[in-house]
């Protein structure tokens, strides 16, 4: 279960990173992110329930301070993951995500936007995770779209930095 929690946390972090990646030209406030995760190679035993499958929607609060501080991508993703080789473009960005620890690997991040209220992001990640005494290879892709909902985040709190 801990491994699944780590994968889910990294997936959500990646979505937030994609959101922050295009936030440099975006408005602070509430954004709705809808994502779909697919496994190309799962580390979980056959028959075990896995994350992914259908779309998942969440709301994310992006502050002006986050936009000002990170520009495109926070220097630290979730846990032992970080963004490297960030390349900003007029209508998007690319980067690599590198994770170490119980879940290690490398992924590519691509985000694009057509206007100030819509964006799309894709993350493709391969690696291995420690599952008991064995290390299991995995590969997944998360594709997401984001829509600006307004300047008031309501009860949705910004993600705290670690």
Compute the distance between CA of residue 122 and CA of residue 143 in angstroms, rounded to an integer. Answer: 4
Domains of the chain: 2-150 (2.40.128)
pLDDT surpasses 80 at 24: no
Per-residue pLDDT tens over the stretch 98-120: 999 888 999 998 888 777 788 88
Judge residue 73's burial from the number of C-beta atoms within 10 Å of its C-beta, 0-12 exposed, 13-18 middle, 19 or more buried: buried
Q: Could you tell me if residue 54 is left (phi over 0), alpha (psi between -120 and 50 degrees) or otherwise beta?
A: beta
Confidence band of 71 (pLDDT split at 50, 70, 90)? very low
User: The whole model's pTM is what?
Assistant: 0.75
So what's the pLDDT on residue 75?
37
């Amino acid at each position: 279960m801990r491994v699944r929690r780590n994968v889910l946390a990294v997936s959500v972090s990646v979505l937030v990173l994609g959101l922050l990646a295009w936030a440099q030209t975006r408005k602070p406030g509430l954004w709705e992110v809808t994502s779909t995760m697919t496994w190309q190679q799962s580390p979980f035993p056959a028959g075990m329930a896995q994350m992914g499958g259908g779309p998942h929607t969440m709301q994310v609060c992006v502050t002006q301070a986050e936009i000002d501080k990170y520009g495109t991508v926070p220097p630290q993703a979730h846990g032992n993951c970080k963004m490297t080789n960030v390349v900003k473009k007029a209508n998007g960005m690319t980067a690599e995500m590198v994770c170490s620890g119980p879940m290690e690997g490398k992924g590519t991040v691509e985000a694009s936007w057509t206007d100030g209220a819509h964006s799309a992001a894709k993350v493709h990640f391969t690696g291995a995770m420690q599952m008991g005494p064995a290390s299991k290879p995995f590969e997944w892709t998360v594709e997401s779209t984001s829509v600006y909902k307004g300047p008031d985040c309501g009860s949705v709190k910004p993600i705290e930095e670690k």
